[in-house]
Structure 1
Amino acid sequence: MSKPILRLLALSCCLSLPAAAAWPDDPFDTEALAPLRPSPQLAARVGEAPCATALPATPLTAIDAVDLALCNNPQTREVWAAARVQAALLGVAQSAWLPNLDGRLGASRHFADSGDYNQRNAALTLSWLLLDFGQRAASTENARQLLAAAAAIQGATVQNLFLAALQSYYNAQATRAAVASAGEAERSARESFAAADARYKVGAGTPADSLQAQTALSQATLTRIRAEGEARNALGVLANVMGFAAQQPMVLAEFQALSPDDDLQRDVAALIDAARARRPDLRAAEAQLKAAEAGIDLARAQGRPTLSLAAGPTWQEVGGASTNGGSIGLTLNIPFFSGFETTYRVRSAQAQAELRAAQRDSLNNQIALDVWRAYQNLNTAAHSLQTTADLVASAEQSERVALGRYKAGVGTVLELLAAQSALANARLQRIQAALDWQVFRATLAQAMGALDYTLLQPVEVKP
């Protein structure tokens, strides 16, 4: 084998070495800049909180539901992947500051009247952009701000999933309580029917009383059946939020009622100020605005001159005669006219920045509305808790009195059925008030950007 061919093969081997063997996998350490994978730790989980992939052996608590949602819901993987994409794009922007090393190999066969000959060539070129009047700096800043926005969006998604898990869990608990309430109403209706039927059989009652009591019993049974269906649907929704199939069987823990006294119920103006300082989606909007402003600088810089350095050795063989050489030089590129492309790129970037600023301002106003609504709803639910407790107590007493009067023969079946209906409605209103208070409490924390496990610690402690 000829000496030129040996040189060509040696140079080919050098140029074809895998980059991974010569350089680290992540020289700019972008993985460290990316946010952590969504998990219970990101939501201020107290104590050990490894990511769970299966339902616990014990009955499901609210903390379990949130743990599973953060670990298994596909949205957490989606936003984490999006953040890692932006981290890698930051590495792409930073790589523009470093030189490029390119290799080229060529071989050809030429045919001519004077004779045929072979031509081989090889070159190694080092190129380095020395000056670009701010293009790389603007590109890097744009990528850095988009990474910050992606991290903030991930934080907002974690809070949204946290709230969705709590809402689904509380709704499942409420529907379970509604089933129990419907069962109690059905039991009372059956007792009333038994009393009416007994009076009718001994001649102390009318057929109409017995029929009305039978109708009320059938209605109570139908209500219980519908409540059971709604409870099964609520469990399916909860399973879906936690990342499982809707038919996943589960057992809910006994729910512990909360006291309306809460630290979240304080001056609403202070809550709005705290929300604007903490909301991750507002931080994302701010970062997107800064990225758009950096995009304006990038668009302007793309229309400015660039200065590049290029150097490297070359080798060529033509018809058996070989030559070695090299080159070094500077290239100044001056874009005199580009068909107004730069002008319109700048206009587009400026409009994008105005769009992001408007979105930021709109979100800033929306935060105040979110906090205001959640605050008022929480206050309403807190007062409803006490009112419905009194309502249930009075309705229970009224039902007992009506049943006693009817059995004693001094009351009518209509009075009894009305009292039982009022009791059933009071129990349902009590369940709804408890659900509303739980949900609005979590909604206010989420509106403030402060929804984490500390909201649950005083309520339920995982065994």
Structure 2
Amino acid sequence: MRFLPCFFLLTVALPSWAGGLDDPFGTEAMAPLKVSPSLAARVGEAPCATALPATALTALEAVDLALCNHPQTREVWASARVQAALVGVARAGWLPNLDASASATRFQYDDGSYNRRSAALTLSWLLIDFGQRSANVENAQQLLNAAAATQDATVQSLFLAALQTYYTAQATQAAVISASEAERSAREAYQAADARYNVGVATPADRLQAQTALSQATLNRIRAEGEARNGLGALANALGFEAQQKIVLAELPALPAELAFQKEVDAMIAEAQARRPDLKAAEAQLKAAEASVDLARAQGRPTVSLAAGPSWQNSAGVVTQGGSIGLTLNVPIFTGFDTTYRVRSAAAQADVRAAQRDRIKNQIALDVWRAYQSLTTATQSLKTSADLVASAEQSERVALGRYKAGVGTVLDLLSAQSALASARLQRIQAQLDWNVYRATLAQSMGALDYTLLQPAAEGRP
């Protein structure tokens, strides 16, 4: 009979040794990918980027660098791994505990002394707890789901921020080109006014006005160059480098021929509510809170435990060996209303999580609505700004030709040049807005990933 506990211990312990003691519950596999589950395809294609490419930096490469180097991606990934390990802690409650103890005592009396040595091996196993461990595992699993969804939401926010910074840096460089073109036009106007003044067919006022316009254009170009340098510094910082890091940007990508996207707003909102990771995180938090209510209730219920193990003792040369096995029923009769208030607290926390879930759900609808309307406006502005630049360029050419021919005034020429410079800047802003709001709409729908940086598909924002 005394060998029965030892045999029982071996049958319990062997599966654990066979499964591996490093991670018997496979919690490492539960943790999401280091970057984000939604970006798994891209992660599988290329290693995490840590250095600037030798060629001009594209938007896709900028996002790679931002996600790989940003401390917040490491933070949320580590948080997810913490919660995955806590799932293992919860599942460990289903397994028995095996404890070894040993003692040695020397007794001293007037007529002599003797030694006592003892050892014991004890198996304890909680057999029945009326749902306490199940609720604990469910709570840990839902918190892991929430951590994974939070990681995905954080990565999408960083993705959008990297794109915004990259597109802004591109726009500031385009503004330098526009300002340089405006300066060139202003210099040409000044040269024309100076030539007419030198032959006596223009007034000094014409020459001074043209010179003032040239100086203003030069000042605008200098300011644009400063903004471009600041834009590159901000981009370098977003990518995890020092602000003075030299970065060469790729040219602005060609916009798709057809900019229209045909989707009903209601359908987009419904899709967003099904895909948004922050809403998934809120849902998981609510389920975890509901599991906490079950856990609090179960903590006030009876438990049945098994205890078994061999023992050995040597006392004054007398050796005794034995073993024991037994069941223990623990029935909490009165706990000072501890269980009652724990259940109330857990239920109130579940109500908090439900309210947070509903608030996020409403916010998602607003996010999609705003992003959709902003992208619609940006799309219309992009088309109109192209017509505006074309007409402004033609107007400037006509005004310059008329002034050189002596049938136009310098004010007409300077006004046309100013309108052209303004039209070019509006075109640059429209392109920036379209790129940013397109990414913003994708992020508001929970669909921001690397496919956005590929050629736009029909019907995709």
Q: Return the TM-score normalized by structure 2.
A: 0.89
Which moved further from structure 2: 431-440 or 261-270?
261-270
Where in structure 2 are the equivalents of 1:261-340 lying within 5 Å? 261-262=258-259, 264-319=261-316, 321-340=318-337
- Decide whether aligned partners of structure 1 residues 114 and 199 sit closer, same or farther in structure 2, where only a CA change above 3 A counts: farther
Q: Given the alignment, which residue of 377, 380, 390 partners 2:377?
A: 380
- Deviation digits for residues 368-399 of structure 1 (CA, Å, limit 9, x no counterpart): 11111111111111110111111111111222
- Aligned counterpart, 1:121: 118
Offset at 1:262?
Answer: 4.8
Where in structure 2 are the equivalents of 1:31-70 lying within 5 Å? 31-38=28-35, 42=39, 44-45=41-42, 48-70=45-67
Offset at 1:248?
Answer: 2.2
- Deviation digits for residues 271-303 of structure 1 (CA, Å, limit 9, x no counterpart): 111111221221111111111100100011112
Tell me, in whole angstroms, the C-alpha distance in 2 between the residues paired with 1:57 and 1:298: 56
- Aligned counterpart, 2:192: 195
Which moved further from structure 2: 262-271 or 35-44?
35-44
Tell me, in whole angstroms, the C-alpha distance in 2 between the residues paired with 1:237 and 1:378: 25
- Aligned counterpart, 2:70: 73
- Aligned counterpart, 1:345: 342
SS in 1 for 2:45: coil
Offset at 1:325?
Answer: 3.3
- Deviation digits for residues 311-333 of structure 1 (CA, Å, limit 9, x no counterpart): 22223344555443333322222
SS in 2 for 1:50: coil
Tell me, in whole angstroms, the C-alpha distance in 1 between the residues paired with 2:205 and 2:305: 101
Q: Does the 8 A contact of 2:182 with 2:417 survive in 1? A: yes
Q: Does the 8 A contact of 1:260 with 1:382 survive in 2? A: no
- Aligned counterpart, 2:7: none
Tell me, in whole angstroms, the C-alpha distance in 1 between the residues paired with 2:362 and 2:105: 68
Where in structure 2 are the equivalents of 1:102-181 lying within 5 Å? 102-109=99-106, 118-181=115-178
Structure 1's unaligned 5+ residue stretches are 1-18
Q: Given the alignment, which residue of 433, 436, 441 partners 2:438?
A: 441
Partner amino acid, structure 2, of 1:272: I
Calculate percent identity across the aligned residue pairs: 75
- Deviation digits for residues 74-96 of structure 1 (CA, Å, limit 9, x no counterpart): 22222222111111111110000
Tell me, in whole angstroms, the C-alpha distance in 2 between the residues paired with 1:263 and 1:30: 45
Tell me, in whole angstroms, the C-alpha distance in 1 between the residues paired with 2:250 and 2:216: 30
Offset at 1:448?
Answer: 1.4
Structure 2's unaligned 5+ residue stretches are 1-15
Which moved further from structure 2: 36-45 or 423-432?
36-45
- Deviation digits for residues 338-361 of structure 1 (CA, Å, limit 9, x no counterpart): 222212211111111111111111
Partner amino acid, structure 2, of 1:59: A
- Deviation digits for residues 46-70 of structure 1 (CA, Å, limit 9, x no counterpart): 9933322222222111121222223
Tell me, in whole angstroms, the C-alpha distance in 2 between the residues paired with 1:428 and 1:289: 48
How many positions carry a matched residue from both structures?
Answer: 442
- Aligned counterpart, 2:366: 369
- Aligned counterpart, 1:217: 214
Partner amino acid, structure 2, of 1:268: V
- Decide whether aligned partners of structure 1 residues 452 and 207 sit closer, same or farther in structure 2, where only a CA change above 3 A counts: same
- Decide whether aligned partners of structure 1 residues 357 and 252 sit closer, same or farther in structure 2, where only a CA change above 3 A counts: same
- Decide whether aligned partners of structure 1 residues 358 and 254 sit closer, same or farther in structure 2, where only a CA change above 3 A counts: same
- Deviation digits for residues 252-271 of structure 1 (CA, Å, limit 9, x no counterpart): 11112313735744211111
Which moved further from structure 2: 173-182 or 155-164?
155-164
Q: Does the 8 A contact of 2:136 with 2:295 survive in 1? A: yes
Offset at 1:110?
Answer: 5.1
Q: Does the 8 A contact of 1:46 with 1:453 survive in 2? A: no
1:452 aligns with 2:449: yes
1:409 aligns with 2:406: yes
Tell me, in whole angstroms, the C-alpha distance in 2 between the residues paired with 1:189 and 1:374: 39
- Deviation digits for residues 106-144 of structure 1 (CA, Å, limit 9, x no counterpart): 334555556555443322111101111110000001111
Offset at 1:230?
Answer: 1.7
1:247 aligns with 2:233: no
- Deviation digits for residues 394-431 of structure 1 (CA, Å, limit 9, x no counterpart): 11122222222332333333222222111111111000
SS in 1 for 2:415: helix
- Aligned counterpart, 2:225: 228
Tell me, in whole angstroms, the C-alpha distance in 1 between the residues paired with 2:392 and 2:359: 47
